[in-house]
């Protein structure tokens, strides 16, 4: 959900470019959508979240470039069956807010800021969300309360008699 599913998947290039050993008990198979989306997960410490905006997990051992990690288009890729990143829920929230939201929300969860600054951003985000909610509800109430007039009249038309023979001119 919200990009978390793709954080549970790790890619590793095949062939001579792969320098890190395959973890014991991990089957290396060509990428298969059903295989790589399975829920048979195991822990793999060699992957972490990248600092690049929008990038998904990258290996920490320096064996892969950032462009290879998470990109199935860079040559033949293999799926590490069941590889995932062991992260806390707070790390997931911080990563999600940093990559997919406005600039203020990550500051609420970032421990590098002082508590007063974080509380300020929390109050600002909550106030903006409340303003959005009040505005949206107000617009919807105005829309449904707008007076409309519907006049419905029934008019009976006299039945028309159509000829039983139709003559078409031939030209």
Average pLDDT, the chain: 64
CA separation for the pair 63, 109 (Å, rounded): 31
Mean pLDDT of 145-161: 83
Who wins on pLDDT, 166 or 53? Answer: 166
The answer to whether 117 touches 109, Cβ cutoff 8 Å, is no
Would the pLDDT of 138 be above 70?
yes
Q: Which of 10-19, 24-33, 112-121, 145-154 shows the lowest per-residue confidence on average (mean pLDDT)?
A: 10-19
- Positive or negative, the CA dihedral 66, 69, 71, 73 is positive
**Structure pTM?**
0.34
| Structure-token pair, residue 19 | 């320098």
CA separation for the pair 90, 55 (Å, rounded): 18
Provide the pLDDT for residue 136: 98
Residue spans of the domains in the chain: they are: 4-90, 102-145
pLDDT digits (tens, 9 = 90+) for 24-58: 444 444 444 554 544 444 444 444 444 444 444 44
**Which helix (H) or strand (E) segment is 108 a member of?**
helix 104-109
pLDDT digits (tens, 9 = 90+) for 8-25: 344 444 444 444 444 444
**Which helix (H) or strand (E) segment is 58 a member of?**
strand 58-59
């Amino acid at each position: 959900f919200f990009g978390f599913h793709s954080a549970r998947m790790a890619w590793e290039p095949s062939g001579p470019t792969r320098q890190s050993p395959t973890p014991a008990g991990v089957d290396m198979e060509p990428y298969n959508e059903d295989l790589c989306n399975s829920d048979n997960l195991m822990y793999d410490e060699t992957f972490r979240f990248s600092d690049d905006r929008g990038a998904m997990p990258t290996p920490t051992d320096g064996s892969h470039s950032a462009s290879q990690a998470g990109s199935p288009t860079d040559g033949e890729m293999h799926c590490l069956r069941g590889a995932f990143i062991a992260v806390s829920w707070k790390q997931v929230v911080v990563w999600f807010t940093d990559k997919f939201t406005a600039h203020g929300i990550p500051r609420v969860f970032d421990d590098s800021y002082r508590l007063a600054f974080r509380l300020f951003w929390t109050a600002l985000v909550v106030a903006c969300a409340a303003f959005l909610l009040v505005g949206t509800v107000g617009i919807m109430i105005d829309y449904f309360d707008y007076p409309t007039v519907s006049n419905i009249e029934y008019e009976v038309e006299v039945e028309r008699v159509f000829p039983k023979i139709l003559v078409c001119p031939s030209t």
